[in-house]
Structure 1
Amino acid sequence: MADLYDKAVVSNSLSKTYSVPGARIGWIVSNDTELVDRFRVYRDYTMICDGVFNDALAVHVLKNREKVLERNRAIVLNNLAIAQEWIDNEPRVSWVPPKAVSTSYIQLDIPVDDEQFCIDLLRDQGVLLVPGSRFELPRGARLGYCAAEATLREGLARLSTALRQFD
């Protein structure tokens, strides 16, 4: 986008695309040098530099980005199909299917507040969803599905168990 639009500000990180959220390394690209300098000053003020391990990890991931992205894409697409099959058979859940990302928003057909539902779900089933109301999208949740296939299937089964209380 920064190459197409002179006012674009593009940000990215290792977190989602490269599946390295713990490294907390990202970047911003813009043609607006004044804005970039303001970001740089803010970054220097808040953190000065990344840890040596995080920096080395980021370099390794980016040097091997094609392999990392190929692996991640295979996991995401496989798990996306699993999540879609689950949604197709779960009457209380709908979504606009994402193309190839590791998280999405699911709409929940439930008669309770999504925040309380997610708290109860974590307590009773050990499944963590982020309530949609935290993103100003009530009656839903952020569903992450970039996990081992068995973990994803077990989590979705437990989510279905929690949803059955409303039948």
Structure 2
Amino acid sequence: MGFLFENVRVLGMKIPFLSDFEEVNLRFYVKRFENGVWKRGAVFISKIVPKHTITLVANTFYNEHYRTLPMKHVLKVNGNSREFIYQWKVKNKWNTIQVTTQKKPIAIAPDSEAEFITEHYFGYTKINENATFEYEVTHPRWQQFEVTKNESVIDFEGVYEKELLTD
């Protein structure tokens, strides 16, 4: 997934030069039943950002799995479409998430796959072989743009070599 984070705050505070940045992450989605309610969340395997300070803070204080790589993005609004491009460089090769969408956002239908993916308010990250850290994420209810074209090119083995290695 590619994201453009804007006006990010940590513990309610905006940190100069670190509040706007790209992120590309590899994740999967889960539901966890606790105290009589379902909690929807994302388990993050890897997160890529362009700023070393974000990686240092997230990995040190939140046990995240960030790494810093060169990144860039382009967001275009055309006549009746939008284009989203996120790129990151590994081993001198640019990887690209590039999608074209309808111009106008649409509401996310209740109980849909899109709602399952977007409406999660917990993140989970592995601390060690026996423990997982859970944290709450807040964001407004999102809308979606219908994807009309996907031209993404990602060298998954090259980008996620360490994460894909198994015993």
Taking structure 2 as the reference length, the TM-score comes to 0.28
Structure with more of its chain in helix, by fraction: 1
Higher CA-based Rg: 1
Structure with more of its chain in strand, by fraction: 2
Taking structure 1 as the reference length, the TM-score comes to 0.28
